[in-house]
Structure 1
Amino acid sequence: MVQTEVIAVEMCLFQSLILTVSLFSCSNANIFTCPKRSDDVFKVLNSSESELIFAHVIYRHGDRTIGHLYPNDPWREEIHWPEGYGALTNEGKRRHYKLGKFFMRRYGEILGHKYSPNKVYVRSSDYDRTIMSAQANLAGMFRPTDDEIWNEDIGRVWQPIPIHVVPLKSEYLIANERKCPKFEAMFAKHEKESPEIQRIYSQYADQFLHWTQESGANITTFREVKELYKTLLMERARYKTLPAWAEKAIERNGVMGYISKYHFKMRTDTPQLARLSTGFLIKEIFERFSKKINKTLQPDRSVWVYSAHDDTVANLLNSFGLFEIHIPPYASSILLELYKNDENEHYIQMFYRKSDVEKPSPLNIPNCGEKCTLDRLYELYSELIPGDFETECRWP
């Protein structure tokens, strides 16, 4: 009898894990009798579940060729880069195609498996590599179904899907190409007055001089170090033989890498800088979340995609207080997802996917946690939300 009761207890505990029902929900007649899988049990379970209803996706383009040349570079001639300068490589295309398939696995239920302009919107910065990344990504997301096949040669492989851009001279949302005079002035002031930045300049002054002499370029700022570093990394990735000084410069945990990675946080080092560099993107994302919650988003889309850059990813993470100093990898992506529960309450979760993880963990948003209401996000980041671009950027 005792053995029977022990077995019954084990079975009851096992089922309670599945049903999230306490052992003490068994019948009063016998506490070792487990509950049946009744409709009432599943109503309790479903009441605590949430439904994904909308997502913003911001990703970096795929692998690319060099774009910033230095005078002494043995590989600076375009003949060594058949794709062209700053261009998406075949590996970059493959990486984004794979990422697109991941997005379909994650968002297929809210997108449907057929492309609809009323379900998804894609915006890219006006660079070939970001536009092409978006094209490869969409090819992974939306393989043509029977009635979408439009060409026998292409068949079920690809269909055209619109990607929206604005001219670079007007772009300030996902690439800081349109100059903001107030930001430039504040950034210059911050760079001169930041004790940490000045310490790095002073401590590694000899390295700046060394890189200048070896490269033939004028390496005097963090940004110039970063661009040189990225060029050397891209050349090594394409199996180009580097000069000895360059090999040493890009050693793991070296000074050039440290300075380059540090630069990714500088544009959003203070709330004022973040407001003028990333605040416009945050404002647009929050406003779109609000429209979705209030059922005023027209068309009532499910996923909004931004094809952008490593700076875009780093700046957004750092503005939210979530950035650990590094270079965002190719095709790394930030996912901001909106959920609704059975009580019609909404919350937002944020994810950073920088590898081929199938189920990234939600980020712990400072002073909020893994789940934040939109109202709470507005409270936390109110000083980052700007007005219109012209007014905010006016200087002096």
Structure 2
Amino acid sequence: MWSFFLVILLLIMSNFNVTSQSQQTVLEPKSEFCCTNASKLIFGIVLFRHGIRNINNFNYPNDPYKDEIHWPEGFGQLTNEGKQQIYELGQFFRRRYGELLGNKYSPNKVYVRSSDVDRTLMSALACLAALFEPTDDEIWHKSINPIKWQPIPVHTVPIKLDYALWGPEDCPKFWTAHEKYQKESPEVQRIYTEYADEFAHWSEMCGKNLTTILDVFNLYHTLYIESIQNKILPDWAREAIKPNGTMEYITSFYFKMASGTKELARLQTGFLLKEIFELFAQKINSTLQPNRLLWLYSAHDYTVSSLLNSLGLFELHVPPFSASVHMELYEAGDKEHCIQIFYRKSNEENLTPMEILNYGQKCCTLERLYELYGDIIPGDHDEECGIQD
């Protein structure tokens, strides 16, 4: 009889401990201000992927389209379809942020930054062409048929110095941690074991020995881009890139790997997140100079996926061309502020705020974001990366 009561007591205590631990990881937001219909949008930060591009020079030996002659714009360059796609994204920005921005461009309203890559720089320019079509008094091309376009600055920094948008190009600690993660992660090892036959089959078909998830990632992008540009693919390739298939899954998993641990997230995305949080803080404290309304980042698929994954908001998929992450600051009442995060995959007009990880709400104060993600906000870059003078 006593042993029976002892078992019951242990079960109760075990359940209590699990509940307590769960409550420690989920922060209670009930007493905080949350965005309502009465809230006013005062600042937006948007990160978007460039438009449709040509294949990179990561082709495979048996690829009938491996020579650059098949890609008139050049390897990795934005296509006309990609320009149109990003122009339409800019039109969406005009509809979403038009009331905030007004009709005329001003450097005091918007700041645009791009990675130092042709396709992202061109995407930023195409987006701005739609976002700020010149008003009558802004038209500079005096002609019967004036050009409905105005030059707007896009800022960039060299890739090796772009810790925010390009990532840890020159960060020894990141690559050491990334190699360790690949060797020790049960998920990674499961992919190599479970899909060994697929790796072997694709290797035989493409004429290249595929030994890593990155190899499959590069092959998928080559085949996918060739397919959407109406290139005739062999049967094996069409089968490999079927939606929701194994190759797409492995490619999607690669996006998760770059920020698969806290350390990786801190070094991969932390510098971008740090900059975003600092911009929000300056806006809230009225110290943002100039006091801009919109901040745009033109970047890459892995920039989008790593930001979402570091925030705990990434579901395995390949971020589409022109996908965008919107982080918006709202104000209401007596200087109360909240932030909402949205993800636009394709052509959605009405965006739904995402639920913040371990928080249970679709809006959050900046202070709470710092509490939730403070462990992936880095300090000095060289110190974090172990770079010696």
TM-score by length of 2: 0.87
Which of 277, 294, 298 aligns to 2:289? It is: 298
AA of the residue aligned to 2:227: R
Listed one character per residue, the Cα deviations across residues 153-182 of structure 1 (whole Å, up to 9, x for unaligned) are 562511100001111122221112622100
Give me the whole-angstrom Cα distance separating, in 1, the residues matched to 2:37 and 2:225: 48
Which of 32, 38, 63 aligns to 1:49? It is: 38
SS in 1 for 2:42: strand
Q: What's 2:128 paired with?
A: 138
Listed one character per residue, the Cα deviations across residues 123-164 of structure 1 (whole Å, up to 9, x for unaligned) are 001111101111110001001112211113562511100001
Deviation at 1:218, TM superposition (A): 3.2
1:287 aligns with 2:278: yes
Give me the whole-angstrom Cα distance separating, in 1, the residues matched to 2:148 and 2:37: 40
Which of 306, 315, 321 aligns to 1:330? It is: 321
Q: What's 1:360 paired with?
A: 351
| Contact 1:170/1:177, CA 8 A, preserved across alignment | no
Q: What's 2:87 paired with?
A: 97
Which of 376, 379, 389 aligns to 2:371? It is: 379
| Contact 1:53/1:338, CA 8 A, preserved across alignment | yes
1:61 aligns with 2:50: yes
| Contact 1:70/1:217, CA 8 A, preserved across alignment | yes
Give me the whole-angstrom Cα distance separating, in 2, the residues matched to 1:181 and 1:216: 32
| Contact 2:168/2:174, CA 8 A, preserved across alignment | no
SS in 1 for 2:87: helix
Runs of 4+ deviating beyond 3 Å: none
1:112 aligns with 2:102: yes
Give me the whole-angstrom Cα distance separating, in 2, the residues matched to 1:48 and 1:72: 56
| Contact 1:51/1:339, CA 8 A, preserved across alignment | yes
1:249 aligns with 2:240: yes
Deviation at 1:221, TM superposition (A): 1.1
Listed one character per residue, the Cα deviations across residues 215-240 of structure 1 (whole Å, up to 9, x for unaligned) are 22231111110110011011111111
1:226 aligns with 2:217: yes
Which of 61, 74, 83 aligns to 2:64? It is: 74
Give me the whole-angstrom Cα distance separating, in 1, the residues matched to 2:168 and 2:117: 11
Structure 1 residues 237 and 48, CA, compared in 2 at 3 Å: closer, same or farther? closer
Deviation at 1:104, TM superposition (A): 1.2
Give me the whole-angstrom Cα distance separating, in 2, the residues matched to 1:176 and 1:218: 27
TM-score by length of 1: 0.86
SS in 2 for 1:381: helix
Listed one character per residue, the Cα deviations across residues 333-377 of structure 1 (whole Å, up to 9, x for unaligned) are 000000110221000000001121111011111233111000000
SS in 2 for 1:334: strand
AA of the residue aligned to 1:144: P
SS in 2 for 1:252: coil
Q: What's 2:116 paired with?
A: 126
Listed one character per residue, the Cα deviations across residues 100-142 of structure 1 (whole Å, up to 9, x for unaligned) are 1111111112212111001100000111110111111000100
Q: What's 2:26 paired with?
A: none
| Contact 1:48/1:341, CA 8 A, preserved across alignment | no
| Contact 1:143/1:156, CA 8 A, preserved across alignment | no
AA of the residue aligned to 1:243: P
Which of 339, 346, 359 aligns to 1:348? It is: 339
AA of the residue aligned to 2:38: E
Which of 256, 259, 262 aligns to 1:268? It is: 259
Deviation at 1:270, TM superposition (A): 1.1
Number of corresponding residues: 350
Which of 179, 184, 189 aligns to 1:188? It is: 179
Deviation at 1:254, TM superposition (A): 2.0
For 1:130-169, list aligned pairs within 5 A.
Answer: 130-152=120-142, 155=146, 157-169=148-160
RMSD: 1.5
Give me the whole-angstrom Cα distance separating, in 1, the residues matched to 2:92 and 2:37: 26
Ranked by relative contact order (alpha carbons within 8 Å, sequence separation 6 or more), the top structure is: 2
Deviation at 1:204, TM superposition (A): 1.4
| Contact 2:168/2:268, CA 8 A, preserved across alignment | no
Q: What's 1:390 paired with?
A: 382
SS in 2 for 1:323: coil
Name whichever of 115-124 and 202-211 sits farther off: 202-211
Which of 199, 214, 233 aligns to 1:208? It is: 199
Give me the whole-angstrom Cα distance separating, in 2, the residues matched to 1:79 and 1:393: 40
Q: Which runs of no fewer than 5 residues in structure 1 stay unpaired?
A: 1-46
Percent of pairs identical after alignment? 57
Give me the whole-angstrom Cα distance separating, in 2, the residues matched to 1:218 and 1:114: 54
Greater Rg by CA: 1
SS in 2 for 1:327: coil
Listed one character per residue, the Cα deviations across residues 12-36 of structure 1 (whole Å, up to 9, x for unaligned) are xxxxxxxxxxxxxxxxxxxxxxxxx
Give me the whole-angstrom Cα distance separating, in 2, the residues matched to 1:159 and 1:81: 29
AA of the residue aligned to 2:43: F
Q: What's 1:175 paired with?
A: 166
| Contact 2:165/2:303, CA 8 A, preserved across alignment | yes
Which of 75, 78, 82 aligns to 1:88? It is: 78
Structure 1 residues 205 and 70, CA, compared in 2 at 3 Å: closer, same or farther? same
| Contact 2:109/2:292, CA 8 A, preserved across alignment | yes
SS in 2 for 1:350: strand
